[in-house]
Amino acid sequence: MKDFVGRKTLTSKQAARLLGVSEASVKRWAEDGLLPAEKTAGGHRRFRPEDVAAFRRTKFGRGDGHLPQTDGAAGSASQNKHRRHATESRELRAAMFESLVAGHAEEASALLVNLHLHGHTVASIADGTLFPALQKIGDLWHAGELSIAQEHIATRTALEALQTLRGAIGSSESGEPTAICCSVEDDFHELPVHVAALVLEAGGWDTVTLGTSTPFYALAEAVLRFGPRLVCVASTVMGDLDRAAREYGGFREAAARVGASVVLGGAGFAGEVLRQRFPAELHADDFGQLEAFAPIVAGTHRRDGLS
């Protein structure tokens, strides 16, 4: 996988491998205008990863990242494959770090979309590649080795890359359950909110993203208005803890009225004491846990709809 996962364009052979078809089919679709392609000075076709992903979705189905992973870290894989997988993961995180710090949105976007094309889910991309790179950037900023401008550029680049990934995955179908995503009051970190929403959208959910710094009383109002089946709240920092805990009670009452499950995630909810003060159906330590929990809620929703 590492031979072309970070490339901004793909050859006909690489596109064919990702689509599971012959190279001749890819060339024919390009000639018919079905699969957008550019040509090099030498006349060779090159395909953008996001165009290949969009074509796969429309031609073969949603293509939401649940295909078998080509570098397979399954339990039956050999020890050598595990080592190669670990090495590739380090290389991917390093490539993502360099792209984000440099503000190279096109390179970061290509990396995310190529991972999606190789069968990685949104959660595995976020947990394994994107957020480790962002964590390194944050650590270097706190140590004074990166400027605040560089940290801001990295964040904006990551958000732009996520938007490209969202376009490659496609929107959810109508009639699916609704989820609300936001961060707590005084928390202005956008990325966890957008990643949580994209994890759910990739699983077929309709999402309402309230954005950052959402007080619990305002979230309660939104819950009563939209009647979601799932509410995801991120917290990197927590401001007035006592006030937040009081308002959280009113939000939980609103969630119970509409039958919504609540997922809390982030450092602001870490620790047993905080989790007792802010009870939830799931306290997620990573996006993989949200990805695993959401289908359970969706399945309950569909069964209720049939009853």
Residue 64 CA to residue 119 CA, distance in Å, equals 8
Of 134, 149, 167, the residue that ends a domain is: 167
* CATH code of the domain in which 46 resides: 1.10.1240.10
Q: Are residues 16 and 156 in the same domain?
A: yes
Q: Are residues 159 and 227 in the same domain?
A: no
Residue 143 falls within a domain, yes or no? Answer: yes
Q: Are residues 131 and 179 in the same domain?
A: no
What pLDDT sits at residue 53? 85
Q: Are residues 24 and 106 in the same domain?
A: yes
Q: Are residues 153 and 39 in the same domain?
A: yes
Residue 186 falls within a domain, yes or no? Answer: yes
What pLDDT sits at residue 112? 93
Enter the pTM of the model: 0.80
- Spans of the chain below 50 pLDDT: 1-2, 62-84, 306-307
Of 167, 191, 222, the residue that ends a domain is: 167
pLDDT in tens, 32-67: 889 999 988 888 899 888 888 888 877 776 444 443
What pLDDT sits at residue 6? 57
What pLDDT sits at residue 23? 87
Structural domain boundaries, residue 212: 173-306
Of 167, 185, 215, the residue that ends a domain is: 167
What pLDDT sits at residue 283? 97
Residue 6 falls within a domain, yes or no? Answer: no
- 180 three-class SS: strand
Compute φ and ψ for 228, nearest 5 degrees: -70, 160
Say how many domains are in the chain: 2
Which residues lie closer than 8 Å to 8 by C-beta, 6 or more apart?
48, 49, 106, 107, 110
Residues 286, 128: contact at Cβ < 8 Å? no
Q: Are residues 34 and 153 in the same domain?
A: yes
Residue 4 falls within a domain, yes or no? Answer: no
What pLDDT sits at residue 177? 86
Which residues lie closer than 8 Å to 12 by C-beta, 6 or more apart?
23, 26, 27, 30, 44, 45, 47
